[in-house]
Amino acid sequence: MRALLLTILLAGSASLAPAVNFSGKWAIEMPGRGGRGGAPVILVLNHVGKEVTGTISARSDVGTGAPVNTEILGGVVEGDTISFYVWSGIDQPVKTFYKGVASGEDTIIFTVTGGPAGGGNFALGRGQTEPQKVTAKRTK
C-alpha cells in the first residue's frame, strides 16, 4: 500500500514540473525592413519554478554600438508556454508582449504583440499593428 501511495505521489509531482527549462541564451530572428532578415535579437533567460527573469538585446547604443540590454518583466512559465513583456523607449515608452511555446528543447515559437503603429524597429515593438510570429533558437 505504501509503495502504491508513493508511486501516485511521485507521478503527481512529476506532472507539476515544467516540461521545458527555458534558462539559457536564445537568438531570435526578427524580420527586417522590406521583409529581409534583421539582426538577431539575443534573449537571456533564467527560469526558476514558474518565474522567468532575464534580458533582451534588441538594438545597439547609437554612441558606442554596444547592445542595449532591456530587462524582461512579468515572466511566467506554464508547462511549455512562456510569457513576458518589455518596456522600451524614453519619450514614448512602448510595451511589447512575448508569448512563446516550446518546440522541443531548443526552439521557442513566439507571438509578439504590442507597440503603437507608425514606423520604427520591430524588435522594440514600434510599427507593429498585428501579432507577429518569430522563432527563437537556443545558442550554445
Please report, for the chain, the start and end positions of each structural domain, with discontinuous segments joined by +: 19-138
Dist. CA 55–CA 53, nearest whole Å: 7
Mean pLDDT for the stretch of residues 92-120:
84
Q: What is the pLDDT, as a whole number, of residue 116?
A: 55
Coil vs helix vs strand at 36? coil
pLDDT-derived band at 91, boundaries 50, 70, 90: confident
**Cα distances (angstroms) measured from residue 39 to each of 31, 87, 92, 122, 127:** 8, 20, 24, 11, 17
- How confident is the model over 50-84, as pLDDT tens digits? 999 999 997 667 777 778 899 999 999 999 999 99
Torsion of CA 76, 81, 22, 128, to 10 degrees: -80
Q: What is the pLDDT, as a whole number, of residue 37?
A: 66
Q: What is the pLDDT, as a whole number, of residue 35?
A: 65
Mean pLDDT for the stretch of residues 17-45:
81
Angle at 112 between CA 70 and CA 115, to 5 degrees: 70
The CATH number assigned to the domain with range 19-138 reads: 2.40.128
* pLDDT over threshold 70, residue 9: no
* pLDDT over threshold 70, residue 10: no
The pTM of this model reads: 0.74
Phi/psi of residue 12, nearest 5 degrees: -65, -40
**Bridge-based pairing state of the strands 81-88 and 94-102:** antiparallel
Write out the three cell numbers for 132: 507577429
